[in-house]
Structure 1
Amino acid sequence: MTDDRAKSRAEHPLPEEEAVGSDDFQDQSEAILMESDIRENEPEATRDAVQRGEDPEEVERRTSEEAAE
C-alpha cells in the first residue's frame, strides 16, 4: 500500500464513514486498504477468515455462526 492511496482515501471518506466519524481518518484508511489488499491478493486465505491485529499472517478462522455470536 502506498501512502498516497491512504492519504487520498482519508481526504475523501465514504458518506457513511463521514456520518459515523473517526478519530483518525488516516489510520482508518490505512487499515481498510490493508485489509482490502489482503482480500484481493489472498482470497483463499481470507474467504472464511477474519484478520486480527497488525500481522496479516495472523488469521483467525471461524464459521459464520461463530461470527454472529
Structure 2
Amino acid sequence: MSERDSEQDRIESRADHLLPEEAAAGSADPEAQAAAILAESDVRENDPEAAPDSFLERRTSTQAATPPEPTG
C-alpha cells in the first residue's frame, strides 16, 4: 500500500467516524471535512506550539495512571 493510499484510508476512516459535534455541523463533503480535521491535527502534533492554548502530552499506556476502584 502506498503512502497516498494509506492517507486516503485514514481520511475515509475519519470521515466515517466524525464526532457528534462535527456531524451536527454538517458537511456536503465529509471526506474534505475529515481531511481538514486531520491536517490541522497533524500540524498540532508536529508542532506543539502551533496551538498555544492547548497542551499535548505524550505518554504510553504504561505511564498512565490506573483508574481508582469504584466505591460503594
TM-score higher than 0.5: yes
The verdict on how the C-alpha distance between 1:42 and 1:7 changes in structure 2, with shifts beyond 3 A counting, is: same
Q: CA RMSD in A?
A: 1.6
With normalisation by structure 1, the TM-score equals: 0.59
Q: Give the SS at the match of 2:18.
A: coil
**Over 6 Å off, 4+ runs:** none
Unaligned ranges ≥5, structure 2 = 1-5, 53-72
Match status 1:47 vs 2:51 = yes
Partners in 2 of 1:47 and 1:33 — Cα distance? 14
Q: Give the SS at the match of 2:31.
A: helix
Q: Give the SS at the match of 1:23.
A: coil
**1:3 paired residue number:** 8
> Identity of counterpart residues, as a percentage?
55
Match status 1:19 vs 2:24 = yes
| Greater share of strand | 1
**Rg bigger for which structure?**
2
With normalisation by structure 2, the TM-score equals: 0.57
**1:62 paired residue number:** none
